[in-house]
Structures are given as C-alpha cells and as structure tokens.
C-alpha cells in the first residue's frame, strides 16, 4: 500500500501539537481540561485536579495555548481554562493510525480504530 505523505505544513503543525503534548504534566493538564468539558476549569481548580500549580501551570498552559489545544479567558476575577481543540486531538490520534499496517502483509481488520 502506498503511503500518502502529509503536506509539509500539515506535518509541521502536527509535529508542533505532538511536541506540546510531550510532557507528562502537560498531558495531565490537557486531560483534566478534556474531562471538565467545554465549560473548563478555573486556574485554581485546574491546578488541583492536574497536580500542577503556580508558574509551572502557567508555563504549560502557554505551550498548550500556542499549539491551539486550549484557551484561557478572564471571567470576572477568575481565569477559566478549557480544552478547545477536540477535532485537532482526534486528528492527532488519526495521524498515528492512518497508515496502520500499511507495510504489513496481514490485513489491519483485527484492530479497532474507532
């Protein structure tokens, strides 16, 4: 089966998103936000749920926001953080599975890719 490579721009964006997820703490932060749903969490609640607080949380949120995976907005005196890139997260997982078994002799039918 012939591989269909991603255009360079798409590959660069995908690599950037994977790089943003390349930290156990950032993955924990994003997971907490995904679990919270679209209403998000206050920065304090996010810190409590993810186990990451203070300037470390601020640093990780900045990286995730630059990758377009989360957003932060001020609501009154609170900063609310939310995951916003559900489609992008789905695309990242599909990127990994898109060419599953492409070079294999065995068919890929036994794998459940959703």
pLDDT grade, residue 85 (50/70/90)? confident
Over residues 45-75, the pLDDT tens digits come to: 999 999 999 999 999 999 999 988 999 999 9
Are 70 and 81 in contact, with CB atoms under 8 Å apart? yes
Q: Is residue 65 part of a domain?
A: yes
Give the domain CATH number at 86.
Answer: 1.10.10.10
Are 66 and 20 in contact, with CB atoms under 8 Å apart? yes
pLDDT of 89: 80
Count of structural domains, the chain: 1
Range of the domain at 58: 25-97
Q: Is residue 31 part of a domain?
A: yes
Q: Is residue 11 part of a domain?
A: no
- Whether residue 108 has pLDDT greater than 70: no
Q: Compute CA distances 64 → 20, 61, 69, 79, whole Å.
A: 6, 5, 5, 15
Q: Is residue 39 part of a domain?
A: yes
Q: Is residue 104 part of a domain?
A: no
- Whether residue 38 has pLDDT greater than 50: yes
Q: Compute CA distances 46 → 66, 71, 79, whole Å.
A: 18, 13, 10
Q: Is residue 18 part of a domain?
A: no
pLDDT of 59: 95
Q: Is residue 90 part of a domain?
A: yes
pLDDT of 73: 93
Q: Is residue 47 part of a domain?
A: yes
Over residues 23-33, the pLDDT tens digits come to: 999 999 999 99
């Amino acid at each position: 089966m012939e591989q269909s490579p991603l255009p360079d721009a798409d590959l660069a964006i995908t690599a950037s998103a994977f790089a943003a997820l390349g930290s156990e703490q950032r993955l924990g932060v994003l997971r907490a936000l995904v679990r919270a749903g679209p209403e998000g969490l206050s920065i304090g609640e996010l810190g409590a749920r993810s186990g990451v607080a203070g300037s470390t949380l601020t640093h990780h949120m900045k990286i995730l926001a630059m990758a377009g995976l989360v957003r932060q907005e001020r609501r009154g005196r609170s900063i609310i953080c939310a995951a916003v890139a559900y489609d992008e997260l789905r695309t990242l997982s599909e990127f990994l599975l898109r060419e599953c078994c492409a070079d294999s002799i065995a068919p890929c039918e036994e794998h459940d890719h959703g």
